[in-house]
Amino acid sequence: MRGVFVTGTDTGVGKTVAACALVHALRGLGVRVAPMKPVAAGADHAAGRFANADSLALIAAAGWEADTLDDVTPVLLREPMAPHIAARREGVEIERAPIFEAFSRLARRGDFAVVEGVGGFLVPLGPGFDASDLARELGLPVVLVVGLRLGCLNHALLTARAIHASGLPFAGWIANAIDPAMAAAGENLDTLRERLEAPLLGQLPYVATPDPHRLASHLDVSTLVPMNVVSR
């Protein structure tokens, strides 16, 4: 299955909102999108069971039912913290096999995967295993969500280096305005345009209560999708 792995410059940069907007934008082209958040840390009781809010948002964006949760998020940890720490506290280990088995099942439901990572690109998942390893083993190009706030230049450029070091294609980046009071936001955006060696897929404006369906209109996803998966 073709797709992208969505990562962020840090936690709290609007990665889920951007991933859901990507799903809506792709569906607008007629693409059958399979959403996935393989590892989620933080669960509340919803839909009659424990679930992660980001996972539910991705499922809703794709127009799927909540009964797909086990495949969308095969590794669900209760506490909202670094996943390897949450796993250790629960006495479990984040294993690769359930993730890849779920990914294979999702491939039967869609043509293009939008896989949202957890935290940043190098967040640990277990001994000798981090989010970049997961992206590499899934074999997906990377889309980087840059939260526009003080410090984003360094975070974005360091993450871009990590993406290049992984050997994965850097498919594009999304600028997400998360701080309406950010000083010199335009100049920061210009600097990122000059230095990030990937296309800018769009700029998401600041919205107090973001609606991914509306935000999808700010994205150009045409470079992400081969023509043979459009409007099937």
Q: 12 pLDDT exceeds 80?
A: yes
Q: What is the pLDDT at residue 6? A: 98
The full length of the chain comes to: 232
Place domain 2-224 in its CATH homologous superfamily: P-loop containing nucleotide triphosphate hydrolases (3.40.50.300)
Domain segments of the chain: what residues? Answer: 2-224
Tokens of 99: 């993730």
Three-state DSSP class for residue 210: coil
Active site residue 15: no
Q: What is the pLDDT at residue 232? A: 54
Average pLDDT over residues 29-37: 97
Q: What is the pLDDT at residue 75? A: 97
Q: 47 pLDDT exceeds 70?
A: no
Considering the candidates 15, 24, 27, 37, report the single residue annotated as catalytic.
37
pLDDT band at 231 (very low <50, low <70, confident <90, very high): low
Q: 101 pLDDT exceeds 90?
A: yes
pLDDT band at 1 (very low <50, low <70, confident <90, very high): confident
Q: What is the mean pLDDT of the chain?
A: 95
Instruction: Give the whole-angstrom CA distance, residue 28 versus residue 62.
Output: 11
Q: What is the DSSP letter of 219?
A: B
Average pLDDT over residues 85-95: 96
Q: What is the pLDDT at residue 49? A: 83
What pTM, to 2 d.p., does this model score? 0.95
Instruction: Give the whole-angstrom CA distance, residue 15 versus residue 18.
Output: 5
With a pLDDT cut of 90, the percent of the chain lying above it is: 92
Q: 153 pLDDT exceeds 80?
A: yes
Q: What is the pLDDT at residue 229? A: 64
Q: 226 pLDDT exceeds 90?
A: no
Q: What is the pLDDT at residue 66? A: 87
Q: 230 pLDDT exceeds 80?
A: no
Average pLDDT over residues 205-231: 88
Q: Are 51 and 44 in contact (CB under 8 A)?
A: yes
Tell me phi and psi for residue 5, to 5 degrees.
-105, 115
Q: What is the pLDDT at residue 228? A: 60
Q: Angle at CA 218, nearest 5°, toward 6 and 166?
A: 20
